[in-house]
A and B are shown apart, each in its own frame.
Chain A
């Protein structure tokens, strides 16, 4: 079974600072990978997805970007954080065409 790691678990950053969140996947190869943001106790908003190395699709306009330098590594970045970037960021992996996504433990980002 696949395991998704995310770090850091929590992060407090000032407005205007850069961001780098990392997600790595074990136990599978060539997965589709996803970045979501979740407001408190609510549904998930898809930010980016990737079907392979170097292939990134953006779902919503924003000041965030994503990269996939390796098959099982997915990175979420920003050059300058905004207050509105605060939230719970989840990485997910999907493999096998069954549409079932497996989630990492998430990163709680607070921008002050």
Chain B
């Protein structure tokens, strides 16, 4: 069974702090996506990383794909209350069509 372990599960921080969310697996992924979800809504795609070692930036969010394409991290700089939500990582495995394996999610709360 392929698993994608995401940590931490819960994170409560003050506005202005930095944070990092991790996704780890023993499986190699052809690509990895990060999503953000607000309560009662569907997840929204933030970024896709494809190449080992790849780094992508989206304003204050930095996404990194591990060299071996087994892990990824999301770093948020100077978090704001608007960053509050559920962050999900999802990996695509070769020869599995378009199916994704999702992590269990990180529930982030940023207090003003």
Q: Which positions in A face B, CB cutoff 8 Å? A: 4, 32, 34, 41-44, 46, 49, 51, 90, 92, 94, 97-106, 108
Contacts and interface: CB of A to CB of B under 8 A. Distances in A.
A51 B97 contact: yes
A44 B41 contact: no
B43 A103 contact: yes
A79 B103 CA distance: 30
Interface residues on chain B, size class: 20 to 34
B102 A44 contact: yes
Contact of A106 (B35, B42, B99, B107): B42
21 contacts: A32-B98, A34-B98, A34-B99, A41-B105, A43-B6, A46-B100, A49-B99, A90-B42, A90-B43, A99-B33, A99-B98, A99-B100, A101-B45, A101-B90, A101-B100, A102-B45, A103-B44, A104-B42, A105-B41, A106-B41, A108-B40
Main secondary structure of the interface of A (DSSP, over half): strand
B76 interface: no
Interface string B62-102: 00000000000000000000000010101010000111101
